Structure 1
Amino acid sequence: FEKICVEHINQHAQEVEVTEGSDSVVLPCRTSADLPKGTSVEWTRPEPRSMFIYVFPNTSKHFAQQNRDYCGRTEMNKDFLRTGDVSLTLMYPRDGDDGRYVCTVHRDQDVLRDTVVLKYVKKELFPSWASTLLVLLVLLVLIVCAGLLYHFQGYFLPGESLNVPDP
């Protein structure tokens, strides 16, 4: 009796963007619905070094292997066996979370592997439209000041003075 293992690998990694300050981000991964009870799911990061992010079932062995940076910040849909939605929710994403994530589903003899690339986008300190508006406002103030100086140049520049006799 020979055991056959079929591995399905998605060649096109999905990209997900998350903005600095977001409460959470979902790393999508789906498989067929009505998964068998013995199905296990692993979320890992291959870079900068291989690490476990989330493992189901979460036995004490797996819990000890989970990278500390992700402890308490990850969760999966509890009903994934019925729905096939094995997406991972990452709470309070940070700059160091940027990169590739691999979702591996072990279902009977089949293995499904999917890759998600998380792009972490930092907020601009000053939005570009506000910078443009500020530049225009400064130019307007300079033009108004130059016009006022030109108009009142007689008050500021030395020239003929009026001799008013003393009484």
Structure 2
Amino acid sequence: MVILAGIILFALLFMGYSHYHKLHKAAELKGSDMAALNSAEKIVEYDALIYGNMKFATEISDALNDLGISSDSVHDINNIDMSRSYRYLIAAGCSDLDNLTVCAMGIKMMDIKKVLAVCNQPHNRKIYEENLIPVIFSGDISPSEIALTLLKYS
């Protein structure tokens, strides 16, 4: 009985090792394969991510572009590509809850260091401050003022 258990144990160890070895071999990428993969998947990286309604985000994007900062704009939280990296984030949506959510995602999940949010309701300012998110108040603020304020906090 002990011999049979030993044979079974040896067979299981051998099968486990051979499967691990096959998986490891299949997962390996050679240097030339990695270079080919990288060249096939050229992703344009942007300096800034702008969240907000289409017209306003486009105006902010134009203002940033005038300052030499490339940007990508998103109009729906669900469309934010978490795999991309950005240097700046501007959350300029109509909802403070959305702006706070986008800022939290950018800071905690995307490691964006320079963030600016548009605060729509003055009574929400404390929430932004408690989360160390620089704010600029909505109203008659221009997209170029938002872009310059972002750079001021940088």
TM-score, structure 1 as length reference = 0.23
Which structure carries more helix by proportion? 2
Q: Which of structures 1 and 2 has the larger relative contact order (alpha carbons within 8 angstroms, sep 6+)?
A: 1
More strand by percentage? 1
